[in-house]
Amino acid sequence: MSIESLAAAFSALADPIRLQVLASLGGGRRCVCELKDEVDVAPNLLSYHLRVLREAGLVTAHRRGRWVDYELASVALEALRGAVPGEDV
């Protein structure tokens, strides 16, 4: 993982709305309408932030009829946790 893409991944975490979305998804798969109720933002703005998270690879989307469910991309998030800087071992 390059330094640039790592910085891009952290910048996906660098927004309160996106952190709230991720925290909500920590409880399991949620459709956009459920997220909208929990996070309380305009639908189009929520779509924008979900798109940012999707393109950063931190969540995945699954259409289910009229609804679209999102869930955490746990592998990517684990990798990101391991990439937080720290003292060399």
Partner DNA sequence: CCAACGATTCAATGCTCATTGATTCAACGG
Partner DNA sequence: CCGTTGAATCAATGAGCATTGAATCGTTGG
Interacting residues toward DNA by CB under 7 A: 11, 14-15, 17, 31-33, 36, 41-52, 61, 63, 65-68
Least distance from a second copy to the Cβ atom of residue 66, Å: 26
Judged by CB under 8 A, the chain residues 29 through 88 that form the site for a second copy are 58, 72, 74, 77-78, 80-81, 84-88
How many CB atoms neighbour CB 72 within 10 A? 19
Of DNA, a second copy, none, which one sits near residue 36, judging by CB under 5 to 8 A according to partner kind? Answer: DNA
Q: Please, is 18 exposed, middle or buried when counting C-beta atoms within 10 Å of its C-beta (0-12, 13-18, 19+)? A: buried
What is the rounded radius of gyration, in angstroms, for the C-alpha atoms of the chain?
14
